[in-house]
């Protein structure tokens, strides 16, 4: 207004916030025209005052949404491209973060100009990619190449784009898409492929081999390539005794004793590292690893299988591999598949396709909701629910890294996840929202659970095996203020069933008895098959009198069990030592 009176301008156009009677404020716009002057001074103005409060709020929300989208692109090192097929004009929009705010940075140029920023070996693929939008007849295309990065190095990019515009004749004329920096993950993939190729070649050119040992006859079977590397294949004597004769004198006695002890102590796994003399006279470091797969009724190993791995090169690269593994793990932890963003009140503002597939919620339904309203996240071990991590991040104004979690979706499907939550800062440095990156690790976690279960359970009866039973026994033996009872069970007539009807009948009898024993023991007790026809029960936190009652009931269950196989009928007895 002062400028209007001083400069003599005749038009008025200003926006400001007007204080209301309730001490609130609303945005208004004033537009006016000077219609009367006196002595060259403004005397009268006529205009209109318009309420633009809702428009201003939408404008501010639009800016915040643009900032969130830009930050999501910046945090994943992604950029957008727009390509005019007729003019061969390419526009690339990058997103750069400075002081908590993201700014777009656009690059224009002809294809032949922009390709100079591409690695020389990838320039042909770069040109072909954009030509395909016009000539291939396909709408969508993807490619990978190396681009000159601000760090001064070439880094791998992954592009996905599609035709989005056509001319009057129906010919494609405009393409658009997204480019994402995949340098770290792609290098890991390339390294994994190379490692796999090296492993395949190892069986042909090194001492890698699979072995199978029949302890009853001492017959040892290995790959032909290994026998050729140690001695002429015709001189090979397929016994473990013969194999041990090639161990380095300094390693031989210890290797033989370790193998004997592992077999004597009923170890399931066999492992050792020693040197083997090659046909060339050189000593080769190998890792001898295997597992006992069969035992006789006395519990003695009768068969074992495993691998022999040449670790000579690995020993010299242990520190390099350890560093590489650490780098790969950190890289994987920083890469997420699902992205969810919120506003400053922790209400969801966007979810990508991967996030929608996890939470099983349509984006329109999820928008404006709290995370806890569309899914549940809790700790895998303790089962404690994780309160809304968006609210925690906004309140602390620091990034959060959460791992070993389970996400339960809207339809009760569960996923094992790791996630990170980072604040989105406004122009004043205060949080205006958050972005969460979620990595789905369900497959690896379920595989680990399966492996753990198999390692602790008997494959025939699905009861605990001896290893798991001994572990439980060790743990309770170090406890205090509790009474426990240990029972050993031996089936007296089991051999008769095996000899009369065969091992298939014996296996079925063991499965039936195991099911009966589970019914007679408490859920807190530990029931295990120790081997052959031997079982063990660890009755936890129970008085001697009550334990004796449980043991008597178990004995009664066994003796009363009637086993029929074809036309034969058997009644068993059992010996129980408490």
What pLDDT shows up at residue 481? 62
Element (H, E) at 506: helix 503-520
For residues 277 and 384, state if they share a domain: no
d(CA 281, CA 507): 50
**Alpha carbons 145 and 157: distance in angstroms, whole number:** 6
Phi, psi of 550 (to 5 degrees): -65, -40
Has residue 99 been placed in a domain? yes
Report the alpha-carbon distance of residue 63 to residue 180 in Å, rounded. Answer: 24
The torsion region of residue 148 among left (phi > 0), alpha (psi -120 to 50) and beta comes to: beta
> Which stretches of 7-124 are assigned E, i.e. beta strand?
11-19, 25-38, 41-51, 78-84, 89-98, 101-110
Does a structural domain hold residue 554?
yes
> Does residue 436 sit in the same domain as residue 343?
yes
Among 316, 347, 367, the domain boundary falls at 316
Four-residue CA torsion sign, 556, 557, 558, 563: positive
Task: Tell me, yes or no, whether 558 and 530 share the same domain.
Answer: yes
Which pLDDT tens digit goes with each residue over 9-49? 677 778 888 888 887 888 888 887 777 766 667 677 787 88
Q: Are residues 276 and 308 in the same domain?
A: yes
Dump pLDDT digits (tens) for 112-152.
888 888 899 999 988 898 899 888 888 899 999 888 877 78
Q: Are residues 306 and 358 in the same domain?
A: no
Within-domain flag for 206: no
pLDDT attached to residue 66: 60
Work out the angle at residue 348's Cα, subtended by the Cα atoms of residues 184 and 73, and round it to the nearest 5 degrees: 30
Is residue 339 classed as helix, strand or coil in its secondary structure?
A: strand
96 and 165 part of one domain: yes
Is 85 among the domain residues?
yes
Number of domains in the chain: 5
Q: Do the beta carbons of residue 156 and residue 140 sit within 8 Å? A: no
Question: Whole-model pTM above 0.85?
Answer: no
Structural domain that includes position 492: 457-577
Residue 38 sits in a domain of what CATH number? 2.10.70
Report the pLDDT value the prediction gives residue 334, as an integer from 0 to 100.
47
- Domain containing residue 149: CATH number: 3.30.450.20
What CA–CA distance (Å, rounded) separates 422 from 332?
17
- Determine the Cα–Cα distance for residues 46 and 236; give it in Å rounded to an integer: 111
Q: Which two tokens stand for residue 2?
A: 């002062």
The answer to whether 491 and 574 are in contact (CB under 8 A) is yes
| C-alpha dist (Å) from residue 573 to 81, 212, 285, 487, 492 | 79, 38, 52, 16, 6
Are 104 and 165 members of one domain? yes
Is residue 66 situated within a structural domain? no
Q: Give me the pLDDT at residue 411, please.
A: 85
For residue 386, give the 3-state DSSP assignment: coil
Output the six-digit token pair for 113.
Answer: 């100009």
**What CATH number is given to the structural domain containing 558?**
3.30.70.270
Does one domain contain both 86 and 157?
A: yes
Please report the pLDDT score of residue 310 as a whole number.
Answer: 84
d(CA 510, CA 461): 7
Angstrom distance (rounded) from CA 291 to CA 310: 18
Q: Is 517 within a domain?
A: yes
Mean pLDDT (10-residue bins), the chain, 578 residues: 58 81 82 72 76 76 61 65 87 70 71 85 90 88 86 86 88 87 80 67 68 90 77 71 89 89 76 86 87 86 88 73 60 60 89 82 83 88 86 88 88 89 86 88 82 83 87 78 82 83 86 87 87 87 84 85 84 82
Residue 420 in tokens: 């990170």
Concatenate the DSSP letters of all residues of 233-258 into one string: GGG---BHHHHHTTB-HHHHHHHHHH
CA nearest neighbour of 314 among 206, 211, 187, 200: 206
Please tell me the predicted confidence (pLDDT) of residue 480: 64
Per-residue pLDDT tens over the stretch 395-423: 888 898 988 898 988 888 889 989 899 99
Is 451 within a domain?
A: no
Cβ neighbours of 77 (radius 10 Å): 17
Is residue 249 located within the same domain as residue 312? yes
């Amino acid at each position: 207004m002062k400028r209007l009176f001083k400069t003599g301008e005749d038009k008025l156009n200003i926006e400001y916030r007007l204080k209301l009677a309730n001490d609130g404020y609303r945005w208004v716009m004033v537009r006016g025209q000077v219609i009367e002057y006196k002595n060259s001074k403004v005397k009268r103005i006529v205009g209109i005052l318009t309420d633009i409060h809702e428009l201003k709020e939408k404008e501010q929300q639009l800016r915040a949404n643009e900032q969130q989208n830009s930050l999501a692109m910046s945090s994943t090192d992604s950029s957008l491209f727009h390509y005019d097929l007729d003019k061969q004009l390419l526009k690339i929009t990058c997103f750069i973060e400075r002081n908590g705010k993201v700014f777009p940075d656009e690059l224009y140029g002809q294809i032949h100009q922009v390709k100079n920023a591409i690695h020389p070996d990838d320039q042909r693929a770069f040109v072909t990619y954009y030509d395909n939008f016009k000539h291939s007849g396909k709408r969508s295309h993807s490619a990978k190449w190396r681009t000159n990065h601000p760090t001064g190095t070439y880094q791998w990019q992954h592009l996905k784009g599609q035709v989005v515009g056509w001319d009057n004749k129906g010919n494609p004329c405009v393409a658009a898409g997204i480019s994402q920096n995949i340098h770290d993950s792609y290098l890991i993939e390339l390294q994994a492929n190379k490692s796999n190729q090296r492993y395949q070649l190892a069986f042909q050119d090194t001492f890698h081999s699979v072995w199978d040992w029949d302890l009853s006859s001492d017959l040892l079977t290995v790959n032909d390539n290994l026998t050729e590397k140690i001695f002429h294949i015709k001189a090979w004597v397929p016994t473990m005794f013969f194999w041990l004769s090639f161990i380095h004198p300094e390693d031989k006695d210890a290797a033989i004793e370790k193998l004997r002890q592992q077999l004597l102590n009923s170890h399931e796994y066999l492992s050792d590292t020693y040197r083997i003399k090659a046909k060339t006279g050189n000593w080769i470091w190998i890792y001898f690893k295997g597992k006992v797969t069969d035992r006789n009724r006395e519990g003695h190993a009768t068969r074992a299988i495993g691998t022999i791995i040449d670790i000579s090169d690995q020993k010299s690269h242990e520190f390099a591999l350890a560093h590489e593994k650490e780098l790969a793990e950190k890289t994987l932890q920083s890469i997420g598949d699902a992205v969810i963003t919120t506003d400053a009140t922790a209400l969801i503002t966007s979810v990508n396709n991967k996030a929608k597939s996890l939470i099983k919620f349509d984006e329109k339904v999820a928008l404006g909701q709290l995370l806890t309203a569309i899914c549940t996240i809790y700790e895998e071990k303790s089962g404690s629910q994780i309160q809304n991590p968006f609210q925690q991040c906004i309140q602390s104004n620091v990034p959060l890294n959460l791992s070993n979690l389970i996400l339960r979706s809207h339809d009760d499907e569960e996923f094992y996840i790791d996630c990170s939550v980072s604040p989105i800062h406004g122009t004043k440095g205060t949080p205006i929202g958050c972005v969460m990156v979620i990595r789905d690790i369900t497959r690896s976690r379920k595989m680990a659970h399966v492996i753990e279960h198999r390692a602790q359970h008997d494959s025939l009866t699905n009861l605990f095996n001896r290893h798991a039973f001994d572990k439980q026994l060790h743990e309770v033996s170090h406890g205090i203020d509790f009474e426990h009872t240990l029972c050993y069970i031996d089936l007296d007539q089991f051999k008769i069933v095996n000899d009369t009807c065969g091992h298939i009948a014996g296996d079925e009898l063991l499965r039936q008895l195991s099911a009966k024993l589970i019914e007679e023991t408490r859920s807190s007790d530990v029931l295990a098959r120790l081997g052959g026809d031997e079982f063990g029960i660890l009755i936890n936190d129970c008085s001697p009198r009550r334990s004796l009652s449980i043991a008597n009931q178990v004995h009664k269950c066994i003796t009363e069990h009637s086993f029929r196989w074809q036309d034969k009928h058997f009644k068993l007895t059992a010996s129980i030592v408490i």
